[in-house]
Amino acid sequence: MLHLTLFSIFGLICVAGAINLLVQRHPINSALSLVVVMGSLAAEYLLLGAEFVAAIQVIVYAGAVMVLFIFVIMLLNAGEEERTRGSRVAVLFGVPGMLIGSLLVAWVLVEHSGTQAVAPGALPGPPKTIGWLLFHDYLLPFEITSVLVLIAIMGAVVLASPPQSIQQKREG
């Protein structure tokens, strides 16, 4: 019962943050509501027993990635976005269609999927076990992601550095 209560509380915070992300017009407000979503998702991971994932969710996602986002928003001095009016067909057919479709999917998932209840902390994911898996069974993917991150760093530096003409102007 306590598990369900905690799940509902953090799930509601999560959905509220996601909807706030859509409603807010200033990117910095959207970014901060995404931090709320990520924090409550970390709590959901803890409820599932995934301690390692919850920790890196907070450290990497809510910490590093969001700081990068907020840096860029402030660097570019992004203002409020202009609203454009969508097509009327999309509102007439898209919104009811999406509602019906998602309700159908939710109904099938809840009533007819035959899934069992997940106990709190059902599958403890201690960092030791995850690390063993990562450096034993998944060693090759791990090494490939390290190459990917290296390429991403170099790509980011190349893309974000000012173009040649501006550099020459600064030097000369």
Partner 1 sequence: MVPLSYYLVLSGILFACGVTGFLIKRNIISIFLSIELMLNGVNLSFVAFAAQWKALSGQVFVFFVMVVAAAEAAVGLAIIIAVYRTRETLNVDQVNLLKL
Interface of this chain with partner 1, residues 104 to 123, rule: CB under 8 A = 105-106, 109-110, 113, 115-120, 122-123
The beta-carbon contacts of 70-76 under 8 Å, at least 24 apart in sequence, are 70/28, 70/31, 73/27, 73/28, 73/31, 74/28
Report the C-alpha dihedral over residues 32, 38, 43, 45, rounded to 10 degrees.
180
Q: Per CB under 8 A, does 139 bind partner 1?
A: no
User: Containing H/E element for 7?
Assistant: helix 2-23
Amino acid at 148: L
Site for partner 1 in 142-171 (CB under 8 A): 145, 148-149, 151-153, 155-160, 162-163
Q: Pick between residue 81 and residue 93 the one whose CB is nearest to partner 1.
A: 81
Site for partner 1 in 67-86 (CB under 8 A): 68-69, 72-73, 75-76, 78, 81-84, 86
The 6-25 site mask, x for binding partner 1 (CB under 8 A), equals -x---x--xx--xx-xx---
